[in-house]
Amino acid sequence: RNTSARTLKALTWRIGLSVALFILLMVGYATGLIQPHGAIPPPPPGYESPANQK
């Protein structure tokens, strides 16, 4: 088989799967199944930072 044709087919699948994953993430976010959050979670309520303690 032609190498460029195989490469094109593989690239098409890769792009298609990436787009599908992105759409699934957006649908999950829109329906509330996925909730975005920061990389560092906020401290629990009532937590006092050691820097603020005297």
pLDDT of residue 45: 85
Would the pLDDT of 12 be above 70? yes
pLDDT of residue 31: 96
Could you read off the pLDDT of 18-54 as tens digits, one per residue?
Answer: 999 999 999 999 999 998 888 888 788 888 877 766 5
Name which of 19, 44, 24 is nearest 34 in CA terms. Answer: 24
pTM of the model: 0.61
Query: Are 28 and 34 a contacting pair, CB within 8 Å?
Result: yes
Which two tokens mark 34? Answer: 């996925």
| pLDDT band of 11, cuts 50, 70, 90 | very high
